[in-house]
Amino acid sequence: MKNSGNAIVLSHISKEYVLHHEKPTLVEKLIRNKTERFMALNDINLTIKKGERIGIIGPNGSGKTTLLKIIAGITTPTKGSVYTNGRTVSLIDLEAGFHLDLTGYQNIFINGLLLGINKYEIQKKIKNIIAFADIKQFIDTPLFMYSEGMKLRLGFSTAIHANPDILLLDEGISVGDNEFQNKAKEQIHRLLKKNKTILIVSQYQKIIKQYSKRIVFMRNGIITHDGGKMLIKKYFV
Could you report the per-residue pLDDT of 36-93, keeping only the tens digit for each?
788 999 999 999 999 999 999 988 889 998 999 999 888 999 999 999 998 898 887 7
Q: Is the pLDDT of residue 130 over 90?
A: yes
What is the CATH T-level fold of the domain 6-235, as seen in this structure? Rossmann fold (3.40.50)
- Over residues 163-190, the mean pLDDT reads 79
Q: What is the mean pLDDT of residues 180-195?
A: 83
What is the arithmetic mean of pLDDT over 112-133?
Answer: 90
Average pLDDT, the chain: 85
The domain spans of the chain are 6-235
Residue 231 parent element (H or E): helix 230-235
Average pLDDT over residues 193-214: 85
At residue 1 the predicted structure's pLDDT band, cuts being 50, 70 and 90, is: low
**pLDDT grade, residue 98 (50/70/90)?**
confident
Say whether pLDDT at 228 is over 80: no
Cβ atoms of 98 and 83 closer than 8 Å: no
Q: CA–CA separation, 226 vs 217, rounded Å?
A: 6
Q: For the chain, give the percent of residues with pLDDT over 70.
A: 84
In degrees and rounded to multiples of 5, residue 180 shows phi and psi of -70, -40
Specify the pairing of strand 197-201 against strand 79-84.
Answer: unpaired
Sign of CA dihedral 204, 209, 212, 218: positive
| pLDDT score recorded for residue 138 | 93
Q: What is the pLDDT of residue 221?
A: 95
